[in-house]
Amino acid sequence: MISLRDALFEAMLHRFYIDPTMVAFGEENRDWGGAFAVYRGLTEALPYHRLFNTSISEGAIVGAATGYALSGGRVVPELMYCDFMGRAGDEVFNQLSKWQSMSAGVLKMPVVLRVSVGSKYGAQHSQDWTSIAAHIPGLKVYFPATPYDAKGMLSLALSGSDPVVFFESQRIYDIGELFVKEGVPEDYYEVPEGEPALRREGSDLTIVTIGATLYRAVEAADLLQKNYGVSAELIDARFINPLNYDLIAESVKKTGKVLLSSDACERGSFLNTMAAHIAELAFDELDGPPVVVGSRNWITPAAEMEDTFFPQAGWIVDAVHERLLPLPGHQVSSDQSLEELQRRSRRGV
């Protein structure tokens, strides 16, 4: 069974073949296959000057990639954890994102910045910072959650001339393809840019996710169907920028109810931008406002307490019950009420 990490490997290997300028670097990229073994096997295939380890210099990892790309080469820098984007803040947000604009198109920026979203590693190693990347103009932001998408979206990113912040979730590097029946194609293919993926058809409400939260949403959809006969339509956004709202709007116009969930902290989450746009696009058909279920606005706690922080299947069901569609006989185990939303906002937590 081909896993998500294998799918990424295939996309990388293909582009290494067809683009002689392509190089990849970061911390622990060579010799050990990378911190999450995505590059396992590349050390034996590639000479040093195409795949090498840098010093612990996140800023210069992204800065050097910026200079390499604007000089005419394709480059895949890696920041082991997306939490480390802070260490490369200027390079990501003021350099990588802006040189195409500031040069009026004289320069291109074929950079795919691979970062991973952690879990179980605590406050500084488990954050989902997709919202921060979404906010700064000039960056494309992708977040595949399946092996098929991982290969197709990395291939897409590697085929273009624009900077892509490419998020991967550490939770699912081992996962196999559960949605596309034919599995991951051996040949080259790309996922169409900006298009969310319909994971499951449904009729009573729409659930939209970004990242690995997809699998908890699947759990929630199963619970809703089994215990309450509620049929949820599941959409995996997979793209944050650019993003085509057509499929999502169509779905919400059909169901009249929408809930969005991801592992990013709720405050300032990109899900809120999506919710606002969906509300405008499908206002007439909506029975109620879009509901956002994000992570608590806290630091990520230790692994033992993660289920109090990240969205759980139970939270999604509770939120449906509380804000969208009362479920007969349902007992909530978390507080998804509007009063709680206001309390948290007042306290700033």
Partner 1 sequence: MPKSIVVDPKSVRKSGKIEIPPIPINQYVSDPAKEGKKFGKKRLNEIYQDMLFIREFESMLNTIKIQGEYQGIAYEHKGPAHLSLGQESAAVGQCVHLDVEDFIFGSHRSHGEILAKCFSAIHKLEDEDLLRVMRSYMNGKPLAVLEQGGSGNGSVKDLAIDYVLYGVLAEIFGRETGFNKGLGGSMHAFFAPFGSMPNNAIVGGSGDIAVGSALFKRINRKPGIVIANIGDASSGCGPVWEGIMISAMEQYRTLWPKDVGGSPPILFNFFNNFYGMGGQPEGETMGFRQLARLGAGVNAEAMHAERVDGYNPLAVADAVERKKRILLGGKGPVLLDVITYRLSGHSPSDASAYRTKDEIALWEKQDCVAAFGRYLVDNGHAHKLARGAKRTGGGAHCPHSRAGLVPGDLPPAADRRPGPYRRADVQLSEDREVRRPGTGGSDFLRGESTDPGQQAQEPFRC
Catalytic center residues: 125
Interface with partner 1 (CB under 8 A), residue from 121, 136, 159, 325: 159
Angle at 241 between CA 65 and CA 308, to 5 degrees: 95
Which of 8, 24, 39, 41 forms a contact with partner 1 (CB under 8 A)?
Answer: 41
Q: Is 197 exposed, middle or buried (0-12, 13-18, 19+ CB in 10 A)?
A: buried
Name the residue nearer to partner 1 (CB basis): 72 or 229. Answer: 72
Closest residue by Cα to residue 77 from 43, 109, 100, 108: 109
Task: Give the span between the Cα atoms of 194 and 110, in whole angstroms.
Answer: 18
Q: Does 210 bind partner 1 (CB under 8 A)?
A: no
User: Could you say whether residue 121 binds partner 1 (CB under 8 A)?
Assistant: no
Which of 114, 125, 140, 238 touches partner 1 by CB under 8 A? 140
Can you tell me which of 120, 124, 137, 283 binds partner 1, judged by CB under 8 A? 137
Is residue 6 at the binding interface for partner 1, with CB under 8 A as the rule? yes
> For partner 1, which is the closer residue by CB, 77 or 290?
77
Are 266 and 292 spatial neighbours (Cβ–Cβ below 8 Å)? Answer: yes
Rounded Cα distance, 258 and 93, in Å: 32
CB of 81 to partner 1, least distance (A): 17
With both helix axes pointing from N to C terminus, report the angle between 270-281 and 246-255 in degrees, rounded to the nearest 10.
Answer: 60
54 is a site residue for partner 1 (CB under 8 A): yes
Residue closer to partner 1, measured from CB, 147 or 290 = 147
For residue 1, with 0-12 CB atoms within 10 Å meaning exposed, 13-18 middle and 19 or more buried, which class applies? exposed
The one segment of 57-65, 166-174, 205-213, 294-302 that binds partner 1 by CB under 8 A: 57-65
- In the complex, what is the shortest distance from the CB of residue 122 to partner 1, in angstroms, rounded to a whole number? 24
Q: How far is the CB of 145 from partner 1 (least distance, A)?
A: 20
Nearer Cβ to partner 1, position 13 or 286?
A: 13
Q: Which two tokens stand for residue 324?
A: 């969208």
Q: Closest distance between partner 1 and the C-beta of residue 112, in Å?
A: 12
Sign of CA dihedral 309, 315, 320, 326: negative
- Asked if residue 293 lies in contact with residue 264, where contact means CB atoms within 8 angstroms, the answer is no
User: Which one, of 88, 67, 93, lies nearest residue 78 by Cα?
Assistant: 88
Tell which positions 88-107 bind partner 1, by CB under 8 A.
90-91, 94-95, 99-107
Cα separation, 202 vs 255, whole angstroms: 8
Residue keyed to tokens 């291109």: 108
69 binds partner 1 per the rule CB under 8 A: yes
Candidates 4, 8, 9, 80: give the one binding partner 1 (CB under 8 A): 9
Of 86 and 301, the one with the shorter C-beta distance to partner 1 is 86
Q: Which of 35, 59, 194, 272 binds partner 1 (CB under 8 A)?
A: 59
Tell me which residue of 10, 14, 78, 84 sits closest to 40, measured CA to CA: 10
Q: Are 271 and 255 in contact (CB under 8 A)?
A: no
Give the one residue of 35, 52, 250, 330 binding partner 1; rule: CB under 8 A.
Answer: 52
Among 123, 124, 161, 343, binds partner 1 (CB under 8 A): 161
Structure-token match 């169901």, residue found: 255
- Judged by beta carbon, residue 59 or residue 122, the one nearer partner 1 is 59
Helix (H) or strand (E) holding 9: helix 4-18
CB atoms within 10 A of CB 272: 17
Span 179-208, contacts to partner 1 by CB under 8 A: 186, 188
Site residues for partner 1, window 278-337 (CB under 8 A)? none
Q: How far is CA 38 from the centre of its chain?
A: 17
Least CB distance from residue 150 to partner 1, whole Å? Answer: 13
**If you count them, how many residues does the chain have?**
349
Q: Applying CB under 8 A, does 244 fall inside the site for partner 1?
A: no
- Of 24, 82, 92, 109, which one interacts with partner 1 (CB under 8 A)? 109
Size of the site for partner 1 (CB under 8 A): 74
